[in-house]
Amino acid sequence: MEPPVFAVVGHVNKGKSSIVAALAEDDSVPIARQARTTRANQIFPLRVDSRTLFTLIDTPGFEQARHALAWMRERETSAAERSNIVAEFVRQHEQTGEFPEERELLRPILDGAGILYVVDGSRPFSPRYEAEMEILRWTGRPRMAMINRIGERDHVEEWRQALDQYFSLVRPFNAHAADFQIRLQLLYGFRELREEWRPFVDEAIHALEAERERRRRRSARAIADMVGDQLALTLDKRVPDEVDLAPFRRQLEEQYREALRQRERKERDEVEDLYQHRRLRRQESELSLVTDDLFDETVWLRLGLTRKQLAATGLLGGVLVGGGIDLAAGGATFLTGALIGGAIGGVSGWLGTRSLAKISIQGLRLGGRLLRIGPMRNPQFAWIALDRALLHYALVSQRSHARRDELVLEPDGKQQGRTSQLPLSERREIEAALTRVRKEKDPDFQDDAREDLAGKIEGLLERAVSGKG
């Protein structure tokens, strides 16, 4: 037996394509504000590991359901004949070219697809839908009604009364709000539709759950790699002797910040890719805290740990004093004022943005000087990077593929970020894992350290989505 096929049918503009996009995890499904974006059936398989779990067919909406039903009723002889009459309806009008939408949407159903009938529960029920439902009943195929709500109003109960008479299963399903758990619940409904499909649906449920875990694991590693790379980042600039260093320093600082931002963008793309959000636009608004660059002071105050919490992790001394730069033989190193100001105790060293990393100057043997920035020495940096990544992850991993609006990243309210709500013991463990990543020079051990950090992050991701922490 083939994996099940479901034809998503209904009136125009009720969210059929949106439901297909959500269920097939496909953000390329065409959805438009104006009606009639779907004229011909479009097939969207849900694949995991290139295996098709089930297939959804997006269909044009019913256009002339009453006429079509009238045609069928004229030819009705007995209930047993009804599905044949529907087939006859399609065949005969192939010749005349009439009822193009009805023919198109009925064809896969007559070929054996299950029916997912979509209505908009924010609009009142009206008898004009009865012809559509009656035609679907005549096909005799397994069918479920889905009450989508496009607007704010709630007419779900009256719809339910009507739908219950035509469909064995009636479920609310909001295409835009459908996160993973909601989709999974719907699949449990699919199990009830037809006995023979049950093993396929069960397999789909298992595959989706396994895939969900894989994505979370890989996201955690992507975040750990980002933080690891950011912490290790150093940049060099050659500067001639006898010139003012200041402009070179500013340039180098700007390049450093840009490189950190770029590394963050790379991680965001990776996570979005894992969750199959291939066309997502992130809002880079100046006002939005999280999409602001990493260096906005207000972000630094809001995300990451509080000063007290940082101190409580107990590992700061090592972080601030350690790290640093291997000096070339004969090179003279000057710690800049910014660095000294950023030593333990200085407020700018805790939360400020000036002393993200140390800048050093070396004399070069063949003349000229080498300006070097990095590695990161601000202990708050990694926590902020983590908080920002958690926020992004929570939104992306729960986002319905039906949505076409921009992803707007904003921390909730005036609260501190998620990491500052963690118990001290867990913050300490994470700080220890971060320290290991920061210090490990051997590539194999560095990989172990990142894997270990990723394990800790995975727990954070799980809770970021379930809302606990």
Ligand X SMILES: Nc1nc2c(ncn2[C@@H]2O[C@H](COP(=O)(O)OP(=O)(O)O)[C@@H](O)[C@H]2O)c(=O)[nH]1
- Binding-site ranges for Mg ion (CB under 5 A): 16-17, 38
CA-CA distance, 294 to 456, in Å (whole number)?
Answer: 23
Give yes or no for residue 183 binding ligand X (CB under 6 A).
no
Given 4, 5, 9, 18, the residue binding ligand X (CB under 6 A)? 18
Chosen residue from 150, 182, 232, 351 binding ligand X by CB under 6 A: 150
Contact between 61 and ligand X by CB under 6 A: the answer reads yes
Name the pairing type of β-strands 369-376 and 357-363.
antiparallel
Where does this chain touch ligand X (CB under 6 A) — which range of 13-21, 106-114, 139-147, 307-315?
A: 13-21
In the complex, least distance from residue 44 CB atom to Mg ion, rounded to whole angstroms: 12
Residue 14, binding choice from Mg ion, ligand X, none, Cβ under 5 to 8 Å by partner class:
ligand X
Applying CB under 6 A, the span of 170-178, 237-245, 273-281, 340-348 interacting with ligand X comes to 170-178
**Residue ranges of the alpha helices (H) in 233-366?**
246-274, 297-302, 307-312, 316-321, 337-341, 347-350
Cα–Cα distance measured from residue 64 to residue 74, given in angstroms and rounded to the nearest whole number: 16
Query: If binding is defined by CB under 6 A, does position 152 make contact with ligand X?
Result: no
Question: Among residues 38 and 148, whose Cβ is nearest to Mg ion?
Answer: 38
174 is an interface residue for ligand X by CB under 6 A: yes
Which of 105, 106, 116, 175 forms a contact with ligand X (CB under 6 A)?
175
Q: Which is nearer to ligand X, 38 or 419 (CB)?
A: 38
Q: Which of 261, 2, 189 is nearest to 113 (CA)?
A: 2
Q: Which stretch binds ligand X (CB under 6 A): 26-34, 65-73, 99-107, 109-117?
A: 26-34
> Judged by CB under 6 A, does residue 31 bind ligand X?
yes
- Of 155, 176, 217, 436, the one binding ligand X (CB under 6 A) is 176
What would the DSSP string read from start to end of 329-350?
TT------HHHHHTSTT-HHHH
Q: Which residues of 129-145 are buried (b: 16+ CB within 10 A; e: fewer)?
A: bbbbbbbbbbbebbbbb
Backbone angles phi, psi at 414, to 5 degrees: -95, 10
Stretches 33-41, 189-197, 249-257, 327-335: which one binds ligand X (CB under 6 A)? 33-41
Residue 230 as a binder of ligand X (CB under 6 A): the answer is no
Q: Tell me if 15 contacts ligand X by CB under 6 A.
A: yes
396 in Cβ contact with 267 (< 8 Å): no
Residue 183 to residue 9: CA distance in whole angstroms: 18
| Residues whose CB falls within 8 Å of the CB of residue 290, separated by 6 or more in sequence, listed in order | 299, 388, 391, 392, 409, 410, 411
Integer CA distances (angstroms), 27 to 21, 67, 326, in order: 6, 35, 48
Residue 148 binds to ligand X (criterion: CB under 6 A): yes
**Pairing state between β 5-10 and 114-120:** parallel
Least distance from C-beta 464 to ligand X, angstroms?
23
Q: For ligand X, which is the closer residue by CB, 16 or 82?
A: 16
Residue 55 binding: pick among ligand X, Mg ion, none (C-beta 5-8 Å cut-off by kind): none
Helix (H) or strand (E) holding 362: strand 357-363
Q: Which two tokens stand for residue 422?
A: 């963690």
Q: How far is the CB of 141 from ligand X (least distance, A)?
A: 19
The reply on whether position 59 binds ligand X by CB under 6 A is no
**Contact footprint for ligand X (CB under 6 A):** 10, 12-18, 31-33, 37-38, 61, 148, 150, 174-176, 402
